[in-house]
Amino acid sequence: MAIPELKESFSGVVFPVTIGTEKEEVFGGENTLPFHKFEGEIPNRPLIAYEIQDIAPEDWPETVKKVYEGVSDDPVKWAKYCEDELKARAIALRLIGTHPDQKDLSADDAVNVVKDVLSAVKVPLIILGSNHVEKDSEVLPKVAEAAKGYNCIIGKAQEANYKTIAAAAMANDHKLIAMSELDINLSKQLNILLTQMGFDKEKIITDPMCSALGYGLEYTYSVMERIRLAALAQNDEVMQPPMFGDVGMYVWKIKETQASEETLPEWGSLEERAVLWEAMTAVGLMIAGAELFVMRHPKAVELVERFVDEMI
Amino acid sequence: MALSGVEIFKLLPKTNCKKCGFPTCLAFAMKLAQRQTTLDKCPDVSEEAKKILGEASAPPVRPITFGTGDKAVKMGEETVLFRHEKKFVNPNAFVLEIKDTEDDATVDAKINDVLTSEINRVGQLLRVDGICITNDSGDAGKFGALAEKVASKAPDVGVVVNTESPEGAEAALKHFSGKGAVLYGVTAENAEKMVEIAKNNKVAVGIKADGLEAAAELTEKVKSLGVEDIVIDSGARKASEILEHNTLIRRAAIKKNFKPLGYPIINFVQRDDAMYEALVAGLGVCKYSSIVVMSSAEKWKNLALFTLRQNIYTDPQVPMQVEQKIYKIGEPTPDSPLLITTNFSLTYFIVSGEIENSKVPAWLAVMDCEGLSVLTAWAAGKFTGAKIANFIKESGIEKEIKHRELIIPGYVAILSGAIEEKLEGWKVTVGPREANGLPAFLRSRAA
């Protein structure tokens, strides 16, 4: 039976973003909705980066902490382990130790860690601050400078601190994660502010703020779908950067990734539950449009990569 | 295509008799076009108009009920492609497959998994909704025996009877007559016999096709044979195909009002690995599946999938709310700190999560502010000193704790005076502005 024409094409395209030098990775670049290869071009896979920290991950739940036992006390060892053993395509170094409530490490401490990690690995590096607005605007410009020539991603710039961070990313040829809080208009506004100061919109990665499965995932999901529709259907250029899901950080602090089966028998095995939680959160956001992810558990990354294999 | 208001108007009696409850036929036509009323409100409409309008005014995805009694779930009736446009209406059913070649112990365990799958999450009871019995053996006797067991052990649970053999269908379906089951496995080859059996047992039909055109042809055939409650399997098994077919089927129904594809979708997502299978099932949840058939139902897997389904099917226009009460985080004692926040579910989740992170047991007072976040509720006059004081007094927390100290969100520091004034004998402490400051805040107090 003849059926009506159901395929749709769009006028807009998501910007492709290339990171790294020795080993490059590209994500974004599609001209259709997530995984709609039946009606458009999807030139690149989503990119998942393994998360490491500048300090030992004492507050990570056991299920994921134990994976990095013996390497997580040293960012260089940890990064090498991700690159060599886990075959990481990219690494995300979170400078959580610089947070005033953590170790309050200085910008110079951070610079040293960044330099050490950069010279130890070949895969692209994403450098994330501690999400402390003032401290990040002090630390990130210095590490951006130290990483000049490595074509990294620096993040996250927020409305309250974007100027110094974006200026440093621009001066040192890095890409930039721009984060706003779960609102398509705030997201658009921040991207406009960035372009107004001369930052190339094709070097932005939009972070509409992640949420874990069960903890507001539907908000992130719908904001991402709306941003992507604006980029493709309305051809809105400021909405065309690829999107980022900071999955690991949000998932590995909720109850579902920590409560034991003894405490909550109706929730089943903790190990599988926690790993699936991270993978499912990433897959949900991937279906909504995100192309760049930061994750923690190798098993969760493997599951998501397998999912991408079946979708691409 | 859906008819416009003017097109519908042309088919109405144009008498403006008002019997439909609207002032004019045109007003009624406009409401019909927006699917806000139904044609049966007009007593004078012609048979011909009824036929044309009936077709056009039916919901774009046909509603079907799966299971019976308190286990019944509604499917279909969807109206949009993206959840931000309007709420996704009827959450998909999760269905566990049991094969008639599996041994008794496995069958019993699986039935038990379904019956004990219920979990309460944020006030909603969530469960595995159904069982798919599969005629793997090809033997009608074995299949009938499995059907009998499932019907007696799990009465009222929705059942998909999966067989392409009319003998198998006869043997199994008699146990689910009128019980909201689906006879799945209807193909172009066996349609006549199978639809007759489905009709006799008053159950829906699940078509098994290869591609969208074949699916559309087959639903028309089933309809012409007298059954209109249909679920569609387009033959998609690979995840990329599931996305493609489900998207195009939903578009056909909603954007083109193409009736032959205006039915709920059934997807089979069985994989060798339970964790991986959950991800493919998750794709079904996000992308338009009404029945997701899986090979296992472990508790951890159920929890993740139920939660995803709950998230995706939340009404985006109504803020999710949690119940107003004093929540215990950890095992608080009479000396543990008491914090207050509003009942916007996201606020609650983030605040309770961060308290949990702090590992400091605490009492969390969640106040009904109609689902608004702290600042919005404050600005709207719903989170005020007087209201907070009232809530604390009426909550009964004074009997649970020894101290009289209330920690309020940093953003509403301005309220501390007003609360202390209304809440005699209490001290108000201003907490951090953002929830992520709570672990450090609580730990430093506990130290």
Pick the closest to residue B223 from A140, A195, A1, A112 (CA basis). Answer: A1
Same structural domain, B305 and B343: no
Which residue does chain B place closest to A223, by CA atoms?
Answer: B84
- Closest B-chain CA to A277: B304
How many Cβ atoms are within 10 Å of B45's Cβ, its own excluded?
Answer: 19
Residue whose pair of structure tokens reads 């020539």 in the numeric block: A149
Mean pLDDT of B392-399: 93
- Give residue limits of the domains in chain A: 19-311
A interface mutation test: which of B255, B307, B309 has the most A CBs within 10 A?
Answer: B307
CB-nearest partner of B308 from A2, A284, A304: A284
Looking at the structure, tell me whether residues B72 and B213 fall in a common domain: yes
Tokens of B265: 């979708």
In a domain, B208, yes or no: yes
pTM of whole model > 0.80?
yes
Show residues of chain A in contact with B216, CB under 8 Å.
1, 3
User: Is 80 exceeded by the pLDDT of residue B320?
Assistant: no
B235-259 mean pLDDT: 97
Interface of A with B in 202-221 (CB under 8 A): 211, 213-219, 221
Contact A7 B243 (CB under 8 A): no
Of B402, B286, B281, B390, residue with least CA distance to B335: B402
Residue of A nearest to B242 (CA): A311
Q: Is a pLDDT exceeding 80 seen at residue B35?
A: no
Reply yes or no on domain A19-311 having CATH 3.20.20.20: yes
| Residue A229 with chain B: CB contacts under 8 Å | 82
The residue among A209, A180, A188 whose CA lies nearest residue A285 is: A209
Q: Which residue has better confidence, B53 or B327?
A: B327
Q: Which of A213, A247, A214, A241 is nearest to A227 (CA)?
A: A241
Q: pLDDT tier at B39 (50, 70, 90 boundaries)?
A: confident
Q: Give the best residue of A5, A222, A226, A264 to mutate against chain B (max B CB count within 10 A).
A: A222
Contacts of A133 in chain B (CB under 8 A): none
Q: Cβ of A283 and B283 within 8 Å? A: yes
Q: Which of B34, B57, B80 is the last residue of a domain?
A: B57
- Burial zone of A260 (CB within 10 Å; 0-12 exposed, 13-18 middle, 19+ buried): exposed
- Residue range B333-356: average pLDDT? 91
> How many contacts does A have with B, using Cβ atoms within 8 A?
163
The residue with greater pLDDT, B284 or B371, is B284
Chain A residues whose CB is inside 8 A of the B239 CB are 307, 310-311
For every residue of B82-113, DSSP letters joined together read: STTTS---SPPEEEEEEETTS-HHHHHHHHHH
Q: Which of A96, A134, A311 to mutate to test the interface with B (most CBs of B within 10 A)?
A: A311
Query: Which residues constitute the domain of residue B377?
Result: 325-446
**Structure confidence at residue A109 (pLDDT):** 98
> Quick check: A304 contacting B, CB < 8 Å?
yes
**Nearest-neighbour CA in chain A from B22: distance (Å):** 35
For residues B405 and B423, what is the distance between their CA atoms, to the nearest angstrom?
A: 10
CA distance B135 to chain A (A): 28
Measure in Å the smallest separation between the Cα of A122 and chain B Cα atoms. Answer: 30
Q: What is the mean pLDDT of residues B329-342?
A: 95
- Mark yes or no for CB contact A287/B286 under 8 Å: yes
Query: For residue B58, is pLDDT > 90?
Result: no
pLDDT of B397 above 50: yes
**pLDDT tens, residue by residue, B118-152:** 998 877 889 999 999 999 999 999 999 999 999 99
**Residue B414's domain is classified under what CATH number?**
3.40.50.11600
Hey, what's the torsion of the CAs at B443, A274, A263, B408, to 10 degrees?
30
Residue B248, pLDDT above cutoff 80? yes
pLDDT value for A150: 98
Q: State the average pLDDT over residues B189-208.
A: 97
Tell me which chain B residues have a C-beta less than 8 angstroms from the C-beta of A280.
278-279, 282, 304-305, 308
Q: Among A36, A276, A287, select the one facing B278 at the smallest CB separation.
A: A276
Decide if A4 touches B, using CB distance below 8 A. yes
Q: Name which of A246-250, B68-72, B161-165 the model is least confident about.
A: B68-72
- Answer yes or no: is B294 within a domain: yes
Domain-terminating residue out of B312, B338, B364 = B312
Question: How many domains does one find in chain B?
Answer: 3
The 10s digit of each residue's pLDDT in B257-279 is 899 999 999 999 999 999 999 99
Is it true that the peptide bond before A148 is cis, omega within 30 degrees of 0? Answer: no
What is the reported pLDDT for B2? 62
Q: Which of B312, B347, B372 is the last residue of a domain?
A: B312
Burial B137-161 (b: 16+ CB within 10 A, else e): bebbebbbebbebbbeebeebbbbb
8 A C-beta contact, residue B374 and residue B347: yes
Instruction: Characterize the bridge pairing of strands A17-19 and A25-27.
Output: antiparallel
Q: Would you give the distance in Å from CA B304 to the centre of its chain?
A: 14
- Determine the pLDDT at residue B305: 98
**% of chain B residues with pLDDT over 90:** 76
Query: Domain check: are B156 and B294 in the same one?
Result: yes
Q: Are residues B394 and B273 in the same domain?
A: no
Residue B317's pLDDT band, with cuts at 50, 70 and 90, is confident
- Cβ atoms of residues A249 and A131 within 8 Å: no
Instruction: Tell me the C-alpha distance between B130 and B114, whole Å.
Output: 7
Look up residue B406 and give its two tokens. 């209330």
User: Could you tell me which chain A residue has the CA closest to the CA of B119?
Assistant: A266
Chain B residue with Cα closest to A7: B248
Query: B247 and B396: one domain?
Result: no
ipTM: 0.97
State whether B14 and B101 are in the same domain.
Answer: no
CA quadruple A139, A145, A150, A156: dihedral positive or negative? positive
Q: How far apart are CA A242 and CA A206, in angstroms?
A: 6
Rounded distance, CA B123 to CA B140, Å?
43
- pLDDT (tens digit per residue) in B96-119: 999 999 999 999 999 999 999 999
Mean pLDDT of B198-206: 97
Instruction: List, for residues B274-301, the tens digit of each pLDDT value.
Output: 999 999 999 999 999 999 999 999 999 9
Do B41 and B71 have their domain in common?
Answer: no
Indicate if B158 and B296 belong to the same structural domain: yes
Residue of B nearest to A39 (CA): B244
Residue spans of chain A under pLDDT 50: none
pLDDT of amino acid B209: 98
Which pLDDT score is estimated for B48?
Answer: 85
Q: Is the pLDDT of residue B3 over 80?
A: no
Could you tell me the CATH number of the domain that includes residue B43? 1.10.15.40
In a domain, B171, yes or no: yes
Nearest C-alpha in B relative to A278: B304
pLDDT of B318 reads: 75
Classify residue B261: in a domain, yes or no: yes
Question: Rounded CA gap, A41 and A39, in Å?
Answer: 7
pLDDT value at residue B1? 44
B446: helix, strand or coil: helix
Q: Are residues B69 and B52 in the same domain?
A: no
Identify whether the C-beta of residue B28 lies closer than 8 Å to the C-beta of residue B37: yes
Looking at the DSSP bridge assignments, the partners of residue A179 are A207
Q: Are residues B305 and B346 both part of a single domain?
A: no
Q: Tell me: do B292 and B335 sit in the same domain.
A: no
Q: Touching check for A3 and chain B: CB below 8 Å?
A: yes
pLDDT, position A261: 95
Per the DSSP assignment, residues forming a β-bridge with B292 are B94, B267
Residue B236 lies in a domain: yes
Residue B325 pLDDT: 93
Q: Are residues B86 and B152 in the same domain?
A: yes
CA of A245 vs chain B CAs: smallest distance (Å): 17
Q: Does residue B318 fall inside a structural domain?
A: no
Of the candidates A107, A77, A109, A102, which has an alpha carbon nearest to the alpha carbon of residue A91? A77
